[in-house]
Amino acid sequence: MAARPYSSPARAEASALTRATILDATIALAYELERTDLTLEQISTRAGRSVQTLLRHFGSLDALIEAAVQRGSAQVAQERRPPAGDVGQALRLLVEHYELRGRFVLRLLAREPDDQIVTGPGRLLHRGWVEEVYAEAIGSAGAERDVLTDLLVVATDVYAWKLLRLDRGLAAGDVERRMILMTDAVIRRFA
C-alpha cells in the first residue's frame, strides 16, 4: 500500500503566514534603509525568524529579494490603481503615491544599476499605468501612439513630481494640477 502524502491545511496556512511575514519585513526594511541590498541577518532580525527559516521558505537571499520585489510591486500597483475613466482621480492617486513613496524611488534611481531589480519593473509598471489611464487618447493617436505614450510617461513620472514638489516646493495639489495641464496639452497636440 502506497503512503498518502501528508497535507495539513493548518500547516499550509502557517507556512503562508510565515512567508508573508518575511516578505513584509523585507519590504519594510528596504523602505526604512532606502536600499535593496539587504542581508539575510537584517531580514531575519526584522521578521523575527531565523536565517534558516528564511532559506527554507525562499532558498536564497536573491530569491527572497525577488519575491519581495514582486509583492512590493503588487502593492504599488494597488496603490496606484486608477479608477475607470477618471483621469483626474488617477492623477490624484499617483501624486498621493509619490508623496508616500517618491523619495524612496528617487534614492533607488540614484543608485542604479544597484537597485535595478526594483527600478526596472517600476518603469514598466508606470508605463502600464499610463497606457491604462490614457488608453482612449493613446488608441486614437494612430501611428504616433508610442510618441504620445512616451510624452505622457514623462509628464507623470516621479522626476516630474520631484521637480515640482521637492525642487520648487509646490503643494501636492499644485503638482497634480500641473500634471493635468501637461497631460491635457500633450493629448490635445495628438488629437
pLDDT higher than 70, residue 5 = no
The separation between CA 103 and the C-alpha centre of its own chain, rounded to angstroms, equals 13
State whether CATH 1.10.10 applies to domain 10-69.
Answer: yes
| This prediction's pTM | 0.84
Q: pLDDT value at position 176?
A: 97
Question: What's the mean per-residue pLDDT of the chain?
Answer: 93
Cell output for 169: 516646493
Q: pLDDT value at position 158?
A: 98
Q: Are 116 and 165 in contact (CB under 8 A)?
A: no
Q: Are 127 and 153 in contact (CB under 8 A)?
A: yes
- What pLDDT band is residue 35 in, cutting at 50, 70 and 90? confident
Q: pLDDT value at position 164?
A: 98
How much is the average pLDDT of 98-122? 91
Burial of residue 169 (CB within 10 Å: 0-12, 13-18, 19+) is exposed
How do residues 11-23 score in pLDDT, each as one tens digit?
888 889 999 999 9
Matching residue, cell 492617486: 93
The separation between CA 178 and the C-alpha centre of its own chain, rounded to angstroms, equals 23
- The ranges of the chain annotated as CATH 1.10.10 are 10-69
Q: Say which residues have a Cβ less than 8 Å from residue 13's Cβ, sequence separation at least 6.
A: none
Residues 111, 128: Cα–Cα separation, whole Å: 23
- What pLDDT band is residue 83 in, cutting at 50, 70 and 90? confident
How much is the average pLDDT of 105-114? 90
Q: pLDDT value at position 4?
A: 61
